[in-house]
Amino acid sequence: MAKGESKVFIDPWGAILIEDYIRVINQFGLEPFTDETLKKIPNPNRLMRRKIIFCHRDLNIILDAMKSKKPFYALTGIMPSAQKIHFGTKMVVENLKYFQDQGAITYLLVADLEAASTRGISLKESRKNALEFHIPAYIALGIDPEKTTFYFQSENKDVMRLMCILSNKVTESEFRAIYGSVSPGKVIAALLDVSDILFPQFRGKPMPGVIPVGIDQDPHIRLTRDLARKTKRVFGFVPPAAVYHKFTPSLDGSFKMSKSKPETYIELPEEPESISRKLWNAFTGGRETLEKQKRLGGVPEKCVIFEFFKQHLIEKDEELDKIYFECKSGALICGDCKHHAIELMSKFMSEFNRKLEKARDLIPSLNFIK
């Protein structure tokens, strides 16, 4: 960390957007996701190709496993707090799907105990939200239920056993150094996360695993890797790898996302009228006047609409490049661009809703391990 720079604390339970990704990479010893990294990845997905995944930890062990066809796993957890998800979760699901398609043994767990300890949500409500909405949503976004192992934290005795074993391997000062503060709820939630991440190796055999996350979840990854090393002699755990995606920016262009300002974000699902209104009012990289826009061009690097195209709405790279260069040259105007974004987002949302309904029918046939 450069002299005079303040330390960044990442809060996995907070709602923040990181402004300076390079600083985060340097401070936490993450590995940047470079062109060289990309060259080694078979069939990289949109988020990888566009460096929306911007860093990783130990991805090479996963790439080696993929290349040599050795077993590895990919895992993520559902926080079943409401019947909505945000676009960051969509990216997690897309990355989980990528690794599933590459042969990962896939785990999808419902963090019902964590929801109880950090958000006061009852197990009953978590179960309802997970079964009626979250699991169908993950399937609608591409997860193959037949290739996925599902469980609820509260029903998985091995996760609880592992949590008890690991609880005396971490001190209060280590916890404080990673999370910035300590409270009983946070300690329980963090140890549950660690136990979930290591569970496939605890019940099965040691093997590499990859956890796709937003950068806000890195404290859990660091704690897990630390505890995996501390208990390696007993359990042989392989510290998990992780890939980290950037955040989807707030619609007002700020780096702070606030639940109290629903106009600044779009969730899944969302009604067509509010999609139109929110995208129409979104911050762009357009100039003050049409004349200036035509003469100087826009600034797609600062444009929330362009970021939505890049992260979520446009799959073909040539199509995205065309928008970029037309914006830069002044050939494109923001009004037309917003109409295009609204059209693509509405199409995506209606497709999502259709697949969600279909996925709901699969829930009774899913097998939840205990």
Peptide bond before residue 219 is cis, with ω within 30 degrees of 0: no
Question: Least distance to ligand SF4 from the beta carbon of 331, Å?
Answer: 9
Of the chain, the end-to-end C-alpha distance in Å amounts to: 44
The residues that bridge with 53 in the sheet, in sequence order, are 245
Rg for the chain (alpha carbons), in Å?
21
Question: Least distance to ligand SF4 from the beta carbon of 334, Å?
Answer: 3
Residue nearer to ligand SF4 on the CB measure, 91 or 305:
305
Residue nearer to ligand SF4 on the CB measure, 208 or 286:
286
Question: Least distance to ligand SF4 from the beta carbon of 255, Å?
Answer: 18
Instruction: Please tell me the distance from the alpha carbon of residue 365 to that of residue 216, in angstroms, as a whole number.
Output: 34
Question: Least distance to ligand SF4 from the beta carbon of 210, Å?
Answer: 33
Question: Least distance to ligand SF4 from the beta carbon of 299, Å?
Answer: 6
Question: Least distance to ligand SF4 from the beta carbon of 50, Å?
Answer: 15
Residue nearer to ligand SF4 on the CB measure, 214 or 298:
298
Instruction: Please tell me the distance from the alpha carbon of residue 176 to that of residue 183, in angstroms, as a whole number.
Output: 10
Residue nearer to ligand SF4 on the CB measure, 145 or 300:
300
SS3 call for 85: strand
Instruction: Please tell me the distance from the alpha carbon of residue 351 to that of residue 340, in angstroms, as a whole number.
Output: 17
Half-sphere exposure for 63 (CA within 13 Å, toward CB): 15
DSSP codes of every residue in 188-208: HHHHHHHHHHHHHHHHS----
Residue type at position 52: I
Residue nearer to ligand SF4 on the CB measure, 206 or 253:
253
Residue nearer to ligand SF4 on the CB measure, 127 or 294:
294
Question: Least distance to ligand SF4 from the beta carbon of 16, Å?
Answer: 24
Residue nearer to ligand SF4 on the CB measure, 183 or 329:
329
Smallest CA-to-CA distance from 259 within 48, 15, 2, 10 is with: 15
Alpha helices in the chain (DSSP H): 21-28, 35-39, 46-49, 59-67, 87-101, 112-119, 123-129, 135-140, 157-167, 172-179, 184-203, 218-230, 232-235, 272-280, 290-296, 304-308, 317-329, 334-360
Question: Least distance to ligand SF4 from the beta carbon of 262, Å?
Answer: 22
Strands 53-57 and 241-245: antiparallel
Residue nearer to ligand SF4 on the CB measure, 289 or 365:
289
Chain positions contacting ligand SF4, by CB under 6 A: 284-286, 298, 300, 303, 305-306, 323, 327, 332, 334, 337
